[in-house]
Amino acid sequence: MRAYIEWIGRRGTVLMPLGILIGVAVQPLAHLLFPLLPLTVYVMLTIVLSRLDVERAIAHIRKPKVFIISLIYGFLLLPLAMSLIATALPLSPGLTAALVIYGTSPPNYAAAALAFLMGLDGALTVATIFAATALHPLITPIFTEFFVGEHIHLSATELGLRLAGLIGASVVSALALSNWLGPERRKAASTLFDSINVLIMVVFAIALMAGIPDRVIAQPLYALSLIALATGLHVGLNLLTVALFLVTGRDRAMTFGYAQAGRNIAVVMGVLGSAAPADAWLFFAMLQFPIYCLPMLLKPLYARLLQFRD
């Protein structure tokens, strides 16, 4: 059993794209799992936060200059730039809203699990996710209200409260899990956590594909353009962030780049539900292609680049 669990963790970057394929091919299963989306987000966030290495996180905070600069860059400057560009372009209201949400969301919670799997600084990724997630209920409602408020049928206050509720429940659960396990058992369970995250991400991807094939068949070129846009954003933000933070060290820069590129709009989309435009949901689904497929391509590259750590 243990060997099977470890195999899942080691093959995470290969198994995760299968979730998208299964969801597209087996629509009854996707529709069956769709109601579980909020639960999968809650479980992923709980596991990620429970893996927070407190001592290493404090070490980052004790020398906070680079860490704070990365937060300002990732959750003020980038969201502002993306929001201004999105609202200036002739895009549909739903896609504009999706891009604003994307720009103001924290790193994808899977980024922590994938950072551990790919040899990046997992503790730094989790610390970044923790800080960004704490800011999420404040930043996203402000930006959405200011830039796309008329396209989202939910007030900034209600959106902020819903985000805070889901995130707060995950934080409480993560603390309870960490205290119950203790430092030694938590460290020993790291492989199990990786495997659980992989399985949850597969379920999440399957559920998210509910109804998507019909939209793709109806608008194939538009769907492909959204995949291209999502992939371009993922790769472009990664490269831009690495270039800007390379002076802080290769390991740290690549960690920041990977974390900042894979924005997580799962929480906000989950609490928005039907209040989000249809195009926003389509973009959210297409966004999973780079999130799930790029790690499989990037893992060998990261392995080579991180042979000589700073």
Q: Which tens digits make up the pLDDT trace of 7-19?
A: 665 666 667 778 8
Q: Is the pLDDT of residue 291 over 90?
A: no
**Predicted pLDDT at 88:** 92
184-225 pLDDT, tens digit each: 777 777 777 778 878 888 888 898 888 889 988 999 999 999
- Report whether pLDDT(46) > 80: yes
Please determine, for residue 268, whether its predicted confidence score (pLDDT) is greater than 70: yes
Q: What is the pLDDT of residue 299?
A: 67
Residue 63: its pLDDT value, please? 63
Report how far apart, in Å, the C-alpha atoms of 289 and of each of 209, 224, 241 are. 11, 11, 21
* pLDDT above 90 (res 229): yes
pLDDT at 120: 66
Alpha helices in the chain (DSSP H): 2-10, 12-25, 27-33, 37-50, 54-62, 64-72, 78-88, 93-104, 110-118, 122-148, 156-188, 190-208, 212-218, 220-245, 250-261, 266-272, 278-305
- What is the mean predicted confidence (pLDDT) over 275-284? 85
256 pLDDT band (50/70/90 cuts)? confident
- Determine the topology of domain 2-305 in CATH: Na+/H+ antiporter like fold (1.20.1530)
Rounded Cα distance, 310 and 294, in Å: 24
Give the pLDDT band of residue 84 (cuts 50, 70, 90). Answer: very high
Residue 310 has pLDDT above 60, yes or no: no
Q: Which of 4-13, 62-71, 157-166, 264-273 has the lowest mean pLDDT?
A: 4-13
Q: Is the pLDDT of residue 3 over 80?
A: no
pLDDT of residue 100: 93
Split at pLDDT 50, 70, 90, the class of 45 is: confident
The mean per-residue pLDDT over the stretch 38-58 comes to 77
Do residues 48 and 178 touch, judged by C-beta distance below 8 A? no
* pTM, rounded to two decimals: 0.82
Instruction: Confirm if 191 and 176 have CB atoms less than 8 A apart.
Output: no
The pLDDT assigned to 55 comes to 65
Listed in sequence order, the residues at least 6 apart from 34 whose beta carbon sits closer than 8 Å to its beta carbon are 207, 208, 210
Query: Structural domain boundaries of the chain?
Result: 2-305
Mean pLDDT of 112-129: 67
Give the C-alpha separation, 129 to 125, whole Å: 6
With a CB cutoff of 8 Å and minimum separation 6, the contacts of 130 are 49, 52, 57
* pLDDT mean across residues, the chain: 82
What secondary structure letter does DSSP report for 153?
S
Q: Is 80 exceeded by the pLDDT of residue 77?
A: yes
pLDDT digits (tens, 9 = 90+) for 130-179: 788 888 999 999 999 999 888 888 888 999 999 999 889 988 998 898 88
- In this prediction, residue 86 carries a pLDDT of 92
Residue 230 backbone class (left: φ over 0; alpha: ψ -120 to 50; beta: rest): alpha
- Minimum mean pLDDT among 41-50, 113-122, 125-134, 166-175: which range? 113-122
Given this model, what pLDDT does residue 2 score? Answer: 59
Burial (CB count <10 Å: 0-12, 13-18, 19+), residue 91:
middle
